[in-house]
C-alpha cells in the first residue's frame, strides 16, 4: 500500500461526495479495482503513467499498482473531543491514518445548509483543528498524571518524558498543532506512545464549485502557508460525475474543459509530496509492480518491501532510471547503452527507478 488518508471535515462540506468520486475512479491498470473493506473505507490504485509505460514496453502479463486507502471519517461537530455527535468514532478512526485530508467547503448552495449558517473556510478549519487539539490536550494531560507517579520512583527515562509532555501541553494550550512541536530524535518512542492527532500532516481539500471559488481558495492557501501544509482544490461534484462516465468520455470532457488531471491524481501527487514518498518499480514476465517507499530509502531496505528474504539475502541491484527507459524502451537497448547500473546495498533509490534485485 502507498499510504492511508483520512477524509475529515464538518458535516455538509462534501466529504462523502469526494470519497465516492475518488473510489469510483476507473484506472487503466489490472489487478487493483476499487474494493470496499467496509462502507467507509476504500482502496484505490494510484494513477501512474510510468507503470503503464513499463508494463506495455516490457510486455509483462499484468500491471500491479500501489494503492491509497481512503477513510471517510464521521463528520466532526463542536464537542467531538468530549464524544459529542460521532466524536469518539471520529477520533479513533483518525488515529489509524498516515495523513489527514481536511475537506473545506468553498462552494455556495441554497440546497445544502452550512452547519454554521455561512460559508467561511478558515473558520471551519479552526473548528476542526480546535477539536483535534483539545483531544490531544486531554491525552497529554492523562499521560502527565501517569508519568508524575512513575517519576517519583527516580526513573530518569520517565522524568525526561514528563518534562517533554509538560512542554507539549503548554504548546497545545496555545492552540498550536503537535506537528509543529520540536520533538528530538530520541523522543520517537514517546510520540508513538501518545498517538497524537495533530502530529499528522494535513492536506486541505478546497471543495469548490465549477466557478472555482478563487477568493476562498486563495484564503486557504494563505492560511496553509503559515501551517506548512498543502491545498488541493477539487470540485467533488464534478469529479463524481466524471467518475461515473466511461473513461473516453471523461478524458474528452477534461480536455475540452482544460482540466489537466483528475482529483485523484492531484491528491495522490500532493499526498506523496506531503509524506515524502516515492515510487519504484519491478518487472518480469508475469507482472510489472509499483512499490511505495520513503525518500532516502536504501535499495536493500526497498528490497524488503518486495519480500523480507530479499532484504536479508541482498547482494546487489541492477537499476534502470526511468528517464533512460523512456529514451530506450527495451532491456536489450538499455544494456547495449550501458544503462543498467549495478548498485550495492547503500544505493539510495530514486523516484521512478526500475530495479532488479540480486540475491
DSSP string over 32-68: ---EEEETTEEEEEPP-HHHHHHHHHHT-SEEE--EE
- Kindly state the cell numbers that stand for 320: 534502470
Task: Give me the domains of the chain, ranges plus CATH numbers.
Answer: 296-358 (3.10.20.30)
Is 17 annotated as a binding-site member? Answer: yes
Question: What pLDDT is attached to residue 86?
Answer: 45
The mean pLDDT of 74-83, rounded to a whole number, is 57
Alpha-carbon span 99 to 198, nearest angstrom: 10
**Cβ–Cβ under 8 Å, residues 106 and 206:** yes
pTM, entire model = 0.83
Give residues with Cβ within 8 angstroms of 178, minimum separation 6. Answer: 136, 168, 171, 172, 196, 197, 198, 199
Question: What pLDDT is attached to residue 223?
Answer: 92
What digits encode the pLDDT tens for the residues 280-321? 999 999 999 999 999 999 999 999 999 999 999 999 999 999
C-alpha distances (whole Å) from 90 to each of 7, 96, 143 are: 10, 11, 21
pLDDT at residue 63 is higher than 90: yes
Question: What pLDDT is attached to residue 42?
Answer: 85
pLDDT at residue 8 is higher than 60: yes
Sign of CA dihedral 115, 116, 117, 120: negative
The mean pLDDT of 29-44, rounded to a whole number, is 54
Is 346 annotated as a binding-site member? Answer: no
pLDDT at residue 221 is higher than 90: yes
Give percent above pLDDT 70 in the chain: 89
Is 15 annotated as a binding-site member? Answer: yes
Is 16 annotated as a binding-site member? Answer: yes
C-alpha distances (whole Å) from 266 to each of 213, 225, 263 are: 18, 18, 5
**Cβ–Cβ under 8 Å, residues 146 and 190:** no
Alpha-carbon span 169 to 267, nearest angstrom: 32
C-alpha distances (whole Å) from 199 to each of 47, 98, 211, 256 are: 28, 10, 34, 41
What digits encode the pLDDT tens for the residues 85-141? 444 556 677 788 999 999 999 987 767 667 666 788 999 999 999 989 998 999 999
Amino acid at each position: 500500500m502507498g499510504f492511508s488518508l483520512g477524509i475529515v471535515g464538518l458535516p455538509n462540506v462534501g466529504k462523502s461526495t469526494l470519497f465516492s468520486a475518488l473510489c469510483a475512479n476507473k484506472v487503466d491498470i489490472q489487478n487493483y479495482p476499487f474494493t470496499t473493506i467496509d462502507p467507509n473505507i476504500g482502496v484505490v490504485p494510484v494513477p501512474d503513467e510510468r507503470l503503464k509505460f513499463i508494463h506495455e514496453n516490457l510486455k509483462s502479463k499484468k500491471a500491479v499498482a500501489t494503492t491509497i486507502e481512503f477513510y471517510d471519517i464521521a463528520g466532526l461537530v463542536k464537542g467531538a473531543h468530549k464524544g459529542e455527535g460521532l466524536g469518539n468514532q471520529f477520533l479513533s478512526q483518525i488515529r489509524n491514518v498516515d495523513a489527514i485530508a481536511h475537506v473545506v467547503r468553498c462552494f455556495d448552495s441554497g440546497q445544502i445548509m452550512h452547519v454554521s449558517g455561512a460559508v467561511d473556510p478558515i473558520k471551519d478549519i479552526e473548528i476542526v483543528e480546535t477539536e483535534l487539539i483539545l483531544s490531544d490536550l486531554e491525552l497529554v494531560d492523562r499521560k502527565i498524571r501517569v508519568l508524575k507517579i512513575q517519576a517519583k520512583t527516580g526513573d530518569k527515562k520517565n522524568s525526561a518524558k514528563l518534562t517533554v509532555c509538560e512542554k507539549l501541553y503548554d504548546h497545545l494550550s496555545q492552540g498550536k498543532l503537535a506537528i509543529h512541536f520540536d520533538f528530538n530524535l530520541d523522543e520517537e518512542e514517546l510520540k508513538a506512545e501518545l498517538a497524537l492527532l495533530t502530529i499528522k500532516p494535513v492536506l486541505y481539500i478546497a471543495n469548490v464549485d465549477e466557478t472555482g471559488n478563487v477568493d476562498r481558495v486563495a484564503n486557504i492557501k494563505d492560511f496553509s502557508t503559515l501551517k506548512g501544509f498543502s491545498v488541493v482544490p477539487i470540485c467533488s461534484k464534478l469529479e463524481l460525475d466524471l467518475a461515473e462516465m466511461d473513461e473516453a468520455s471523461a478524458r474528452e470532457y477534461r480536455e475540452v474543459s482544460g482540466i489537466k488531471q483528475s482529483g485523484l491524481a492531484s491528491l495522490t501527487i500532493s499526498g506523496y509530496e506531503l509524506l515524502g514518498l516515492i515510487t519504484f518499480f519491478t518487472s518480469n514476465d508475469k507482472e510489472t509492480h509499483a512499490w511505495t517507499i520513503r525518500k532516502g530509502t536504501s535499495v536493500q531496505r526497498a528490497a524488503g518491501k518486495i519480500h523480507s528474504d530479499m532484504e536479508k539475502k541482498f547482494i546487489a541491484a541492477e537499476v534502470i532510471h526511468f528517464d533512460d527507459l523512456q529514451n530506450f524502451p527495451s532491456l536489450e537497448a538499455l544494456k547495449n547503452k550501458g544503462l543498467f547500473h549495478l548498485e550495492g546495498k547503500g544505493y539510495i533509490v530514486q523516484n521512478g527507478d526500475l530495479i532488479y534485485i540480486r540475491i
